[in-house]
Structure 1
Amino acid sequence: MKRLLLIAGWIAGAGAASAQTEEATPRREALPLWELGVAAGGLSQQAYPGSDQQARRVLALPYLVYRGKVLRAEGGSAGLRTVRTERFELDVSFAGSLSSGSESLRAREGMARLGTLVEAGPVARWFLNGRSASDRISLELPVRGVFEARDPRRHRGMTLEPELSWQRRPQAGGWGYGLSVGALFGDRRMGSTFYGVAPGEARPDRPAFDARAGLIAWRLGARAATHLTPDLRLFAFGRLDSLAGAANRDSALVRRTTGISYGIGLTYTLKRSAASAND
């Protein structure tokens, strides 16, 4: 179950780039209603914003793309898309962050382990120059609940992550790529998950800290994808996080004010429907 939940967060970076590649590929003027495939690659992610350690994984996971008019599962989003126009849509989005695995985090020594987190919630998306623009500019406003992958009943907080992005949609056989800038905000519970230090966890170099709601990190991202064959796609993505002005910058658990996450991999379509998507 944990591995399946990680698909949303890990393939989201690949999915967004791969989706825009597919949308603009002339050989698929009408995309299939559904696709089933496998994704494999490597990911390195900052253990949490402000950590001085990375969480690294090599993953091979199945994925499903479904392009129904209302029910969707594509490019890091899934659920009921109740509103869709040339310039706006309302959807459900997913994100996530990896645990440190068997490696203990030095900053959190003696504290509860920070597990894999899964986020889900509604997202409003505006296409500022139109959905079909070759150089598409979009604004996303997702609101997500954060839960532990091992036990989804454990609610870890709420996040708001506005993002402004630019996407270059490729010509046949070319690359699709994009840039994004955004910010991650969290409520007090989310802040406590990353930065709170209870009195019983305090040490001389880690004083007790009561976390606050507010800015968690600024984010600058980039992604790219291309078709190597009709069924095989190569993708890569990266993100820079900065804690400049963050609400919990003074926590002893903040060991580094900037951090990077990146990944590279392949997706392969095993099977696709003969029926075409509605839009």
Structure 2
Amino acid sequence: MSMHKELIGFMAVCLAAPAFAQDAARQPLWEAGIGAGWVDTPAYPGANMQSRRGLVLPFLIYRGEVLRSDQQGIGARLLRSDNAEFDVGFAASLPAHSNDVHTRAGMPDLGTLVEFGPRLKLRLADIGPRSRLRFELPLRAVMELKSGVRRQGWTIEPRLVYATRDDGGKWTWEGQLGVVFGDARINRYFYAVPPQLATASRPAYDAKGGLMLVRTGLFGYYRIDRDLRAFGFTRYETYAGAANRDSPLMKQATGFSLGIGLAYTLGRSAAPAHE
């Protein structure tokens, strides 16, 4: 889920790299290639252990008038004007195995999470010719893929996004500040301890809905040449005011994520994007 997106998964980061820095008029309708990189992120929000892994993934960017596949995920853009956009999309995050997280030892693994739902984007201000401030409001139903499909609640993540790039389009930066709220079901998924799984160091706990975290992050991209891009991101989260701060599974007051990688475009269309 958007917890591990970028913590929507490293896949989103690979997709982001080719899509950022070209002017809309020069973007192709589609691009395909391969991305490789390394990420270091909390095993789950509030975990006292990090999940570190290297990944090699294919990517497909598609910039259709309605159907879209880019750094924001996969979905359908239903409304677009100069100042507002409304879409419905998917995103996914990586699983966490309880055997790798001492606090969750003996508990069920956290599976692959898929998010689906609408998002509103509002253009707040243009800050110079190459910088923009916007507001995003995604509402996501969360599904777990593990021995079938299970609904695991919903999240909402209002955030401010500031994006800027250099004059030549080689560098692009995007900063975000947002908060994540979840219903009781998704909070129980991360933070509840059933009585039958309680231990002396992990008492039973019934999680409730509410604030999950406050997050700020920075994504950077550099175009080395027409086909090769380097990228990286950092993200800082605080759980100080979280609704389930007292859960025995909430071991940290803050969390930090880092990712770096390269993306190489193997092919692109001659037709331009629908922008």
Structure 1 length as normaliser, TM-score? 0.90
Tell whether the 8 Å contact from 1:33 to 1:67 is kept in structure 2 after alignment: yes
1:262 aligns with 2:253: no
What's the secondary structure of 1:128's corresponding residue? Answer: strand
Structure 1 position 61 matched with structure 2 position 50: no
The alpha carbon displacement at 1:116 in A equals: 2.5
Alignment match of 1:154 (pick from 143, 146, 150) = 150
- Give yes or no for the alignment of 1:36 onto 2:36: no
Q: Report the CA distance shift for 1:152/1:56 in structure 2 as closer, same or farther (over 3 A).
A: farther
1:127 to 123, 132, 137: 123
Shift of 1:97: 3.2
1:188 aligned onto 2:213: no
- Residue 105 to residue 16, structure 1, CA distance change in 2 (3 Å): same
Greater strand share, structure number: 2
Q: Could you report, residue by residue, the CA deviation over 1:173-202 in whole angstroms, capped at 9, with x for unpaired residues? A: 531112111011111110000000111111
Aligned partners of 1:77 and 1:92 also within 8 Å: no
Of 85, 102, 113 in structure 1, the residue corresponding to residue 81 of structure 2 is 85
Q: Give, in angstroms, the shift of residue 30 of structure 1.
A: 2.4
CA distance in 2, matches of 1:12, 1:260: 18
Look up the equivalent residue of 1:135 and give its one-letter code: S
- From the superposition, tell whether residues 98 and 80 of structure 1 become closer, same or farther in structure 2 (CA, over 3 Å): closer
- Any unmatched runs of 5+ in structure 1? none
The aligned runs of 1:205-220 (5 Å cut-off) are 205-220=201-216
TM-score normalised to structure 2 length: 0.91
Q: Sequence identity, in percent?
A: 44
Q: Give the AA of the match of 1:60.
A: V
Distance 2:245 2:229 in 1: 39
Residues 276 and 174 of structure 1, relative CA distance in 2, 3 Å threshold: closer
Structure 2: state its 5+ residue gaps.
none
Matched residue type, 1:268: Y
Encode CA deviations 1:229-271: one digit per residue, 9 max, x unaligned: 1011111011111101100000000111101111100111111
Match of 1:143 in 2: 139
CA 1:182–1:152 in structure 2 vs 1: closer, same or farther (change >3 Å)? farther
User: Which residue does 1:252 correspond to in 2?
Assistant: 248
1:85 & 1:32 partners in 2: Cα distance? Answer: 21
Aligned counterparts of 2:82 and 2:126: Cα–Cα separation in 1: 6
Give distance in 1, aligned partners of 2:230 and 2:206: 44
Q: Tell me, what secondary structure is at the counterpart of 1:212?
A: coil
- Structure 2 letter corresponding to 1:21: A
Note the aligned Cα RMSD (angstroms). 2.3
How many residues are aligned here?
A: 271
* Inter-CA distance 132–62: structure 2 relative to 1 (3 Å threshold): farther
User: In structure 1, which of residues 60, 71, 75 is the aligned counterpart of residue 67 of structure 2?
Assistant: 71
Structure 1 residues 14, 131: CA separation in 2 closer, same or farther (over 3 Å shift)? farther
Q: Distance in 2 between matches of 1:69 and 1:251?
A: 45
How far did 1:6 drift?
9.4
Residues in 2 aligned to 1:7 and 1:113: alpha-carbon distance in whole angstroms: 17
Whole-Å Cα distance in 2 between the matches of residues 97 and 11 of structure 1?
A: 8
Cα deviation, residue 101, structure 1: 4.5
**How far apart, in 2, do the equivalents of 1:215 and 1:127 lie?**
25
